[in-house]
Structure 1
Amino acid sequence: MPWKALPFSDRARSKSLGEKFEVGGIPCLVVLTPACDVLTVDGVEEVQSASDEAVRLWSQGKRLFWTRPPNEGEHVWNGVSCSLCHMYPIAGVRYGCPHRDCEINLCNDCICKYTHQHSIVEYLIHGKQYSFEQIFASVPHLLGPTHDERIETKTLWENTPKTIGIYFSADRCPPDRDMTSTLAQYYLEAHASEHPFQLVFVSRDNNEESFNKYRAQMAWPVFPFNTEAALVEYFQYPPMPSLMIIKADGTIMTRRGRNYVLSKGVEALKAWAQGEKLPPLPATEFEWLGVYCDGCEMSPLIGQRYYCSTCGNYDLCSACEKKGHDHPLELIPQPADD
């Protein structure tokens, strides 16, 4: 670093400064005026948005970001700035580029002033209910099982399906590949029956080569590579692999379709095709994606989950809980499907 630093031994002052400026995480950059007034606590975000312009404005005693109170009914996109006017956070409609190499976000006032090499899409508000047409509006077309086949996105809901499954997965993860193989078998069985199930794949692959290799194993339509950003954010970055089941009115029937498929097989797909909600899985079968047992290292943890708040980020399965622990353990309730 070409700037001065506190000595590592001066931990007391480091702690004092962190408390004074209410630093909640790192990296954090607080910019002060010559009078030691706070110019901005969003220094990191301003540098990420427009580094040269941010530093130039700081030298003039100004900050890059600006804000305004949201109008009635407007959504506030916390942590997101407009790439053109630098409103932070964006209030109202948010637009952006779904291409993973771009970090373009635009407010409603700037959308008509900006020209971009990729398509710009409107982001959906998490928790708000949308129709199938609105949910998939950011995708111009789908790709079929045949390599060059293009399918109109509206074919997903043309025959008024009662549900649509959205499968989030990536080729790089062994559990994802196993799930894809299992799902493909049951999908074909369901389509051979009187209750075909509507399914679409949303890739989380890192590159197009992996994406094309992976989708070749699927008999259902897929989102083209680099079109998934708006949908992934709407569903709050689901863990992989995940199977979301969406009802015709846009509500989420279950976020845990994967668990049901592994437990119920093709009958789960047939039930969803008829718009039927499956009963909750028994606690002994519930799979905690992203959580592992710190005792036996079962990953993911399956069954009842016990958490130690004293240790922090410490979980045990029911078998390890019975062996005892140094601190009290809390039984974590099984989350609701939606």
Structure 2
Amino acid sequence: MRLSEKFQVCGIPSLVVLTSSCDVLTMDGVEEVQSVSDEALQLWSQGKCVFWTRPPSEGEHVWEGITCTLCHMYPLVGTRRGCTHQGCNINLCDACISNNKHEHPLAEYLIPKKHYSLEQIFASVPHLLGPNNEEQIETRTLWKDDVKSIGIYFSADSCPPGRDITSTLAQYYTEAQASRHPFQLVFVSADEDESSFNKCRARMPWPAVPFNAGALFELYFERRADGNILTRRGQRYVSNKGVDALKAWAQGENLPPLSADDFEWWGIYCDGCNVSPLVGQRYYCSTCGNYDLCSACEKKGHDHPLELIPQPKDDEH
């Protein structure tokens, strides 16, 4: 048996640290070095590992893949706090908050799939910026006047598909605002610098979360005014349904799932005809690896067996 098989190494680089009796001290050697540099080697030489964790209490969330910056609990269990500023990679568990000396204020992360009110979701946002200007708008104006839903739009200037979607979305947004069913939309930037952020939001007729206030928003979703998620796949519905999608969301309504023939596989293209994104049923070749065909190209045949990939549900990422 190869050592990589014995220790179930799934990717490289990978560093497995053993004790003198050949027991596994840690399987996460690379991550521990990245976390504490040379301190990891000093601890290993003493038969200690950097990372530790604890069993979660009832109702506590386990943040898989996340390490507490101070005590190195991995995975982090329970309340997680982080910095809203872009580029500040800090995560603290509840026990380490009292020892926090970070230069920026920290905010509590939202637990995935847990229900929150809009006030809780936007608690870390001090104000919004008006479209194409620096006017400061009260965040709570997003859900005033009996608003039924809010769209949170994630994009970046460095994303060419994002620019195309922004242009289309801006057209539908303007049309919806002139109808009986105006739709609330807010931009959250994934840009790396403020200059790119300003360039990106200049194309948008809706308000934006300030540049260093949106780092804790990690998913694309539309929420009703009660905080319930309508959809995480808004861009697909906008592409397929146009302004009707915005009008439905403005009334707090769910849209029916896209049919198998209409579903767009964002980030996936057909290796047969090169259409991008792949639309409709998707067939995958595990032998070739990273090889997908649309239904039309699948009918032409392929050298290896193909797997029909099921359309993901709306609450799947």
- Structure 1 residue 46 and structure 2 residue 32: aligned? yes
Which residue is equivalent to 1:201? 187
Larger deviation, residues 324-333 vs 191-200 = 324-333
Matches within 5 A, 1:256-295: 256-295=233-272
Whole-angstrom CA distance in 2 between matches of 1:18 and 1:263: 46
TM-score normalized with structure 1 length: 0.87
Report the AA paired with residue 315 of structure 1.
D
Whole-angstrom CA distance in 1 between matches of 2:175 and 2:5: 60
Whole-angstrom CA distance in 1 between matches of 2:207 and 2:28: 42
Q: Secondary structure at the match of 1:167?
A: strand
Whether the 8 Å CA contact 2:172–2:242 is kept in 1: the answer is yes
Which residue is equivalent to 2:232? 255
- Aligned-residue Cα RMSD (Å) equals 1.8
Which residue is equivalent to 1:329? 306
Counterpart selection for 1:35 from 21, 25, 31: 21
Report the AA paired with residue 271 of structure 2.
D
Whole-angstrom CA distance in 1 between matches of 2:269 and 2:115: 32
Whole-angstrom CA distance in 1 between matches of 2:212 and 2:296: 43
- The Cα offsets for residues 72-107 of structure 1, whole Å up to 9 and x where unpaired, read as 211111221111111121111011113232221100
Which residue is equivalent to 1:231? 217
Whether the 8 Å CA contact 2:260–2:280 is kept in 1: the answer is yes
- The Cα offsets for residues 200-244 of structure 1, whole Å up to 9 and x where unpaired, read as 111112221111011111111112113333211xx3xx5xxxxx3
Whole-angstrom CA distance in 2 between matches of 1:36 and 1:278: 57
Evaluate the alpha carbon distance shift between residue 318 and residue 105 of structure 1 in structure 2; reply closer, same or farther with a 3 A threshold: same
- Structure 1 residue 124 and structure 2 residue 101: aligned? no
Whole-angstrom CA distance in 1 between matches of 2:49 and 2:83: 25
- Structure 1 residue 183 and structure 2 residue 160: aligned? no
1:33 is displaced (CA, Å) by 2.5
Evaluate the alpha carbon distance shift between residue 190 and residue 331 of structure 1 in structure 2; reply closer, same or farther with a 3 A threshold: same
Q: Secondary structure at the match of 1:133?
A: helix
1:336 is displaced (CA, Å) by 2.5
Whole-angstrom CA distance in 1 between matches of 2:60 and 2:122: 22
Q: Secondary structure at the match of 2:211?
A: coil
1:164 is displaced (CA, Å) by 0.7
Whole-angstrom CA distance in 2 between matches of 1:45 and 1:60: 18
1:270 is displaced (CA, Å) by 1.3
Which residue is equivalent to 1:304? 281
Whole-angstrom CA distance in 1 between matches of 2:208 and 2:235: 18
Whether the 8 Å CA contact 2:132–2:204 is kept in 1: the answer is no
Larger deviation, residues 132-141 vs 178-187 = 132-141
Larger deviation, residues 67-76 vs 52-61 = 52-61
- Structure 1 residue 317 and structure 2 residue 274: aligned? no
Whether the 8 Å CA contact 2:148–2:252 is kept in 1: the answer is yes
The total of aligned residue pairs comes to 315
Report the AA paired with residue 166 of structure 2.
T
Which residue is equivalent to 1:210? 196
Which residue is equivalent to 1:94? 80
Which residue is equivalent to 2:222? 245
Report the AA paired with residue 79 of structure 1.
G
1:178 is displaced (CA, Å) by 1.4
Larger deviation, residues 304-313 vs 103-112 = 304-313
- Structure 1 residue 155 and structure 2 residue 141: aligned? yes
Q: Secondary structure at the match of 1:24?
A: coil
Q: Secondary structure at the match of 1:231?
A: coil
Report the AA paired with residue 148 of structure 1.
E
Q: Secondary structure at the match of 1:272?
A: helix
1:173 is displaced (CA, Å) by 2.2
